[in-house]
Amino acid sequence: MCTGISLASIEGSHFLGRTQEYNVDFDYIGVQIPAKLKITESIEEWETVYSVVGVGVKEEQNKVAQSVIDGVNEFGLGGITQYFAEFNEYSSIAEIKQAGKFPLLAEGFIFWVLANCKDTKEVEEKISTVAIADISPDGKEGAGLPQHFMFTDAAGRTIVVEPSKKLGFDVYENPVGVMTNSPKFDWHLTNLENYTGLSDVNATGSEFRDTKVLSAGKGSGLHGIPGDYTATSRFVRAAYILKFSDPVAEKDLVNKAFHILSTSDIVKGVIKLDESKGMDRQYTQYTSIYDLSKKQMYVKVYENFVIQTIKFDEAIKNAKEIKVYELTKQEQYEALN
């Protein structure tokens, strides 16, 4: 599932955020991956050009995955990835190589882009040299993880990249600053036409002959805004809340972003899947916000409402190994008496 937003402060600083919903529990950590690091956890080896801060995963035996699920690089380019079932078009490794392109796993695409591109223009240019292979995370062909991607750079330009054509990508300018899941992004933009009557002003009453009918009261301008957890509803909800919410200064922007994304929060047990026990609950595992100007990450995990933050560290940019930041996953409360 997942919901993503890009937004700006009054001063013009840009931010990118997302909720991460999944039914598989991972040991999430904060990481900073240095530049010039050889990446071996890929179909073919490659080397990072830029350093990246983001949410990573600790694997078995405390091994750290050479990737990020979402992140920001040293130039303020941020990226997020979300599920994109039924519309992704992946290719075999043989087809990709025959086309003269570099094969990537879907779950490694965000990291490859952030480690190789300075801004969204470079993203558009460099993704023409790669394609996503139809390989599952366990290395089997024919079941690549369906994903699409959103990027915002330090200048505020936001694009959506969808692997919805063979050996290539459809790239869309994102004028509303929202991405959820399937269908394709352009369909979601068209679907907004069904909700143009929504308003941030309470509806007035109406008269029928001699009878006056009162409006539903506070919030009636938003009457009809979808409240379920489908991708289509979450897109509309996030788009209009982002549109109607008050502009805020940079110091208040992270708070605003977390409030907007909280409207997509999924509590354990609300979304049940036809899977084995332990994998049958899809819920909001974490929410992350990236300050693209300061290159700083803010993250809130399901178990702990305290917002944890990690800054890009120039000293680690040219390190020899990945820097790990353990996230506190126990509840934290402030006792007032």
Q: What angle separates helix 250-262 from helix 231-244, to the nearest 10 degrees?
A: 150
Beta strands 130-132; 102-104: pairing state = parallel
Distances (CA, A) of 248 to 93, 201, 211, 238: 47, 20, 42, 17
Contact 9, 253 (CB under 8 A): yes
- 74: nearest Cα among 238, 246, 318, 324: 318
Share in percent of the chain as helix, strand, coil (round to 5):
20, 35, 45
- Determine the Cα angle at 278 with ends 231 and 3, to 5°: 20
Torsion of CA 208, 211, 217, 219, to 10 degrees: 0
pTM: 0.94
Q: Is 142 exposed, middle or buried (0-12, 13-18, 19+ CB in 10 A)?
A: exposed
Contact 125, 94 (CB under 8 A): no
Q: How many CB atoms lie within 10 A of CB 327?
A: 18
Q: What string of H, E and C letters represents the secondary structure of 6-69?
A: EEECCCCCEEEEEEEEECCCCEEEEEEECCCCEECCCCCCEECCCCEEEEEEECHHHCECCCCC
Contact 160, 179 (CB under 8 A): yes
* Token couple for 42: 């890929």
pLDDT one digit per residue (tens) for the chain, 337 residues: 799 999 999 999 999 999 999 988 899 999 999 999 999 999 999 999 999 999 999 998 889 999 999 999 999 999 999 999 889 999 999 999 999 999 999 999 999 999 999 999 999 999 999 999 998 766 655 678 899 999 999 999 999 999 999 999 999 999 999 999 999 999 999 999 999 988 888 877 888 888 887 777 777 788 889 999 999 999 999 999 999 999 999 999 999 999 999 999 999 999 888 888 877 889 999 999 999 999 999 999 999 999 999 999 999 999 999 999 999 999 999 999 9
In whole angstroms, what separates CA 280 from the centre of its chain? Answer: 22
What gap in Å lies between CA 299 and CA 101, rounded to an integer? Answer: 35
What gap in Å lies between CA 187 and CA 236, rounded to an integer? Answer: 12
Q: Phi and psi (nearest 5°) for 215? A: -75, 175
Q: Is the peptide bond before 226 cis (omega within 30 degrees of 0)?
A: no
Contact 187, 180 (CB under 8 A): no
What gap in Å lies between CA 174 and CA 152, rounded to an integer? Answer: 9
* Token couple for 268: 């354990």
* Token couple for 314: 């120039």
